[in-house]
Amino acid sequence: MMNNSQLLFRRSRRRLACWYAIAMGGLLSLSGLGMYRALVRSNWIAIEREIESIAGTLHDSFEPMLPANERPTVLLQQIFPDLCVVEQPCNNSPTLIQRHTTGISDRTTYYIRLFNQQGELLAFSPNQPLSLPTDFNPTPWQTFGDKGGSRYHQFTTILHSAHNGDNQASNQRSWGYLQIGRTLATYDAELSRIQWILAFGLPLMSALIAVTAWALSGLAMRPIYQSYQQQQQFTANAAHELRSPLASLLATVEATLRLSSTQPQVVAPMLETVERQGRRLSHLIADLLLLSRLEQDASPKPDKPCCLNDVVADLTEEFSELANVSKVDLTSQVPDAEIYVAGDESQLYRLVSNVIANAIQYTPAHGSVRISLKTRDHMTLVSVEDSGIGIPLSEQSQIFERFYRVNSDRSRKTGGTGLGLAISQAIAHHHDGKISVHSNIGQGSLFTIHLPSKTF
């Protein structure tokens, strides 16, 4: 069964994925509908402009030739050779020249009708829709459909006669009306195609968005969950580390209180134990505070010059006594030229000392620890190599975690708390550097501190 934290993060992931999917799905739907309306509108405007253009061409070409009488059968047949005149037989096979006389080559798409001033039909295209209304409607734009579901869009414009007299008033007299229309089959087919794309595309994209939202929410929640797990682990480890010295401290105090005041020779060692445990607690709390401050990057970046030659030499001298007691050969190799880095000398001192202390403590008797300082490619390298028992490859990525120990019993004997390497790594990161490790079981370990070189 899942614990409460896993249920909490899974619920949060579902909520994050739902909100992401809703937001992206809504934006995608609005974008799709907006594009649909824009395409429909642009196609509709293009159709009307094309109809107006053809109507304008016909109007300007034939208006000067319009006859004065209301039923100009012969002249209409000359002007529009492929139109059918009312009550006259249709010429359904006009010549190519006659077909282009009217300026329309696509007879399957467009049709033409002519009305006189009274709204009576004079001529019409042979391909006009059968369901076309016979009553004249002077509305400029009309859209209608037939029983078969086909739709048509037509435009009506006024024609003026140029043969009714010489004065301006008679020249502007209305002769009749020209109607030009077209089928909307291609437009409706394109519209239907876009609708099908939206009908199938939007649900498909919504499903893809949902899957993507779930994957992205998992990626977004992963570092938060890992941070939460680390915090829980840190809390458990800190409680474990503090519990042992506190329990020992309380037991010693209780035993001291039960002793008689006439036994000072017994009380003194117990008080020393209390002091030792208190100091251990104080150091542990100080290390935790330092580590927390370094990881939060609360303090400004140190920029004071620090000579690592002096740091390595001082630490070699300081740990020589511990190395002698542990029967470990401790040596250092420091160049004559001084090597500087920008940083806090006390923190860098702590950084290198933690690595050296670990190397000595975990190296068996008659082993060796070598410290070297050098520069390479604008980087300063402090290497600490030991001949100890080594670190398993599977655990090398975890040794810099707080309270982590490769061997818990061995660390207890040496008095370690599991914070040394974690503090060292935090200090290195605070100085824009890093620590790397190379180790093999039974062949020792090599820790290398990388810090950017600085010239002062």
59-86 burial code (b ≥16 CB/10 A, e <16): beebbeebbeeeebeeebbebbebbbbe
Q: What tens digit of pLDDT does each residue of 13-49 get? A: 888 889 988 998 889 889 989 999 999 999 999 999 9
Q: Tell me the β-bridge partners of 440.
A: 444
Q: Tell me the β-bridge partners of 379.
A: 376, 452
pLDDT at 385: 93
For residues 91 and 107, give the distance between their C-alpha atoms in angstroms, rounded to a whole number.
14
**CATH code assigned at 434:** 3.30.565.10
3-state DSSP assignment of residue 295: helix
314 and 185: one domain? no
Q: What percent of the chain has pLDDT over 70?
A: 77
Taking residues 247-253, report their average pLDDT.
74
> Token digits for 397?
């990525």
Q: What is the mean pLDDT of the chain?
A: 80
DSSP E strand stretches across 99-184: 110-116, 121-124, 141-145, 151-160, 174-183
186 and 313: one domain? no
Q: Judge whether residue 373 has pLDDT over 90.
A: yes
Where is the domain boundary, 160, 192, 224? 192
pLDDT tier at 372, thresholds 50, 70, 90: very high
Q: What tens digit of pLDDT does each residue of 93-152 get? A: 555 444 544 445 456 788 888 888 888 888 888 878 777 777 788 889 999 887 778 898
Q: Is residue 126 part of a domain?
A: yes
Q: Is residue 203 part of a domain?
A: no
Weakest-pLDDT range from 183-187, 332-336, 341-345, 407-411? 407-411
List all residues 6 or more positions away from 404 whose beta carbon is below 8 Å from its beta carbon. Answer: 398, 418, 422
Taking residues 446-455, report their average pLDDT.
88
Q: Is residue 180 part of a domain?
A: yes
- The DSSP call for residue 147 is T
> Token digits for 290?
């330092």
Q: Is residue 291 part of a domain?
A: no
Say if residues 431 and 451 touch (Cβ distance below 8 Å): yes
**Which of residues 103 and 359 earns the better pLDDT score?**
359
Let me know if 139 is exposed, middle or buried by CB neighbors in 10 A (0-12, 13-18, 19+). Answer: exposed
The dihedral over CA atoms of 53, 54, 57, 60, expressed in degrees to the nearest 10, equals -90
Q: Is residue 376 part of a domain?
A: yes
- The DSSP call for residue 453 is B
* Residues written for the chain: 456
pLDDT at 63: 75
Q: Is residue 273 part of a domain?
A: no
Give the number of domains in the chain.
Answer: 2
Say if residues 415 and 284 touch (Cβ distance below 8 Å): no
pLDDT tier at 86, thresholds 50, 70, 90: confident
For residues 36 and 30, give the distance between their C-alpha atoms in angstroms, rounded to a whole number.
10
**Which of residues 14 and 296 earns the better pLDDT score?**
14
Q: Is residue 89 part of a domain?
A: yes
**CATH code assigned at 114:** 3.30.450
For 258, what's the count of Cα atoms within 13 Å in the CB-facing half-sphere?
6
Where is the domain boundary, 166, 192, 218? 192
Q: Judge whether residue 246 has pLDDT over 90.
A: no
CB atoms within 10 A of CB 257: 9
For residues 378 and 451, give the distance between their C-alpha atoms in angstroms, rounded to a whole number.
9
Let me know if 451 is exposed, middle or buried by CB neighbors in 10 A (0-12, 13-18, 19+). Answer: buried
Please spell the DSSP secondary structure of 185-196, one letter per residue. HHHHHHHHHHHH
Q: Indicate the pairing of strand 121-124 with strand 110-116.
A: antiparallel
Taking residues 361-380, report their average pLDDT.
90
Q: Is residue 253 part of a domain?
A: no
pLDDT at 220: 85
**Which of residues 176 and 456 earns the better pLDDT score?**
176
- The DSSP call for residue 119 is S
Where is the domain boundary, 164, 192, 220? 192
CB atoms within 10 A of CB 136: 16
pLDDT tier at 370, thresholds 50, 70, 90: very high
Find where tokens 């409706």 sit: 188
Taking residues 385-393, report their average pLDDT.
88
Please spell the DSSP secondary structure of 190-231, one letter per residue. HHHHHHHHHHHHHHHHHHHHHHHHHHHHHHHHHHHHHHHHHH
Q: Tell me the β-bridge partners of 453.
A: 341
pLDDT at 315: 93
24 and 167: one domain? yes
Total-model pTM: 0.50
For residues 122 and 79, give the distance between their C-alpha atoms in angstroms, rounded to a whole number.
13
Q: Judge whether residue 90 has pLDDT over 80.
A: no
Q: Judge whether residue 165 has pLDDT over 50.
A: no
Q: What percent of the chain has pLDDT over 90?
A: 22
Structural domain for 42, as ranges: 4-192
**Which of residues 131 and 384 earns the better pLDDT score?**
384
> Token digits for 107?
């007879």
